[in-house]
A and B are shown apart, each in its own frame.
Chain A
């Protein structure tokens, strides 16, 4: 995973429900190994539940700064953008993770920061779960990528492969799903930065199963009966 932390700013974009938030949370914790100061920005203006802000305490304990609407506004579904974000984009001491809302509509917010991001050391990664509606075929994935680029006015630099069926994921599901992502990577001429696998498979599915780096992730968003 050495190549993975090379850029100071990582922007996770992708389809609605593609897994951006869980990946961004895990990734910010991972980045703490290489950076003293890591901040994660919850830029989700479209989702009302299961947002980065819900993992705030866990992230703070790991030394990750969380930028998200606070107090009463924690529970709002309003397009609230903290003035702190622009400062963090320009602060070279910070490794910055941007967790952006889903689809092109969720990406609108990035346009606001375009001029600041463009001049920075950044990469924008497209998270794809081929088991989600609207990213189940090559043409759909291509369309998603184009719509996100058009709306954000930034270029996608790589793909994060995230094939899963949540709690019903099996080894076969991961491997089969990843095949489509590989095809998408070729078609879109974008490298696969890493493949995400739930940590419960870490023994069963070793890193040697894939050419690409493997990133085992822990689930932070849980349901009330779990």
Chain B
């Protein structure tokens, strides 16, 4: 058929990963992201030089990712909230080993086993490290099925470029909804050569290690500092956001993913009532778009952060605003999606 396809978010991530050269997937099914695992099984099992394993657990899956990533191949795993919690130890090891991989979290209601409805309550876990140790993931937050495609492809490039795991932070709604998508030709990006560190079987050359361990604290501190340098670079070079209607806004909403999309409808509704609402939608959650928020806070004195959580990203908004403007918060939890009307009603409280 033609160029465009109608895809579920979860399937779209799978197809995007394969087109980005990912031939290795290890995972364990969980609602509401199982279609991604199923898609990878259907496709990869028929491909040459590819592997799909439904692991015995999420812990096993992330360690298979660790192994595959050590050889320099493009590899992915995915899960939803409780499953991502189980993967944290492995993610921390992979980050310390400074090797690339992509992890997808299609969030659901928590804490604990929670429910199977969409949520954004894993923000802290995603952007503040998640496992033990001083580290960050590169965190991308799509808000449409097309963006799931584009950002999944970008995630592989960014992970390779910074030899650091990248995470797609979506939610159950983005995973389950269907939209038309296009797989466009992408410009070639220069990426670092992996041949200096990847494990290929030493065959006469000096042997290599991919480890996340050093008993000498002096060496381990340097190691940490090196990793931290990458985060500084990420903050300088890789910040992405979408700004809508910021000129003369009476109030600016900060929201990502599904909620940002709802907020766009709120903005249209407000316009009809003569209220000017703006939107800053972080596309990278780490690195966080601090500068645009800080510069907006000089002009607009009122912010409203909206999340499908009880207040997580709002802390980063407050840090970026740094006391220069009023930062309010509205959130729904447990898998409830706020309506555009509800957000407008909340915004009006501050106008």
Contact = CB atoms under 8 A, between A and B. Distances in A.
Given A49-B32, A129-B6, A225 B264 contact: yes
Contact of B177 (A176, A177, A180, A223): A223
A136 interface: yes
A225 B6 contact: no
A76 B117 CA distance: 10
Interface string A207-219: 0000000000000
A48 B32 contact: yes
A50 B31 contact: no
A17 B6 contact: yes
**Chain B: interface residue count, which band?**
20 to 34
Given A75-B115, A130-B1, A224-B339, A48 B172 contact: yes
A65 interface: no
Contact of B176 (A49, A176, A177): A49
A177 B4 contact: no
Interface string A123-142: 00000011111101100000
A49 B179 contact: no
Q: Which of A77, A137, A223 has the most CB of B within 10 A?
A: A223
Contacts of B291: none
A48 B1 contact: no
B267 to A, nearest CB: 11
B15 interface: yes
| B-side interface mostly | mixed
Contacts of B15: 133
A164 B180 CA distance: 9
A167 B32 contact: no
A109 to B, nearest CB: 17
Interface in B258-307: 258, 261-262, 264-265
A16 interface: yes
Interface in A114-165: 129-134, 136-137, 164-165
Given A49-B32, A136-B1, A225-B264, A166 B180 contact: yes
Given A75-B115, A131-B1, A165-B6, A225 B340 contact: yes
A180 B177 CA distance: 25
Q: Which of A47, A167, A225 has the most CB of B within 10 A?
A: A225
Nearest to A129: B6
Interface of A: 16-17, 47-50, 75-77, 129-134, 136-137, 164-168, 173, 176-177, 180, 223-226
Q: Which 10 A-B pairs have the closest CB atoms?
A: A168-B180, A165-B180, A49-B176, A225-B265, A131-B6, A225-B262, A224-B337, A48-B31, A136-B1, A48-B32
6 contacts: A131-B4, A131-B5, A133-B5, A168-B180, A176-B2, A225-B262
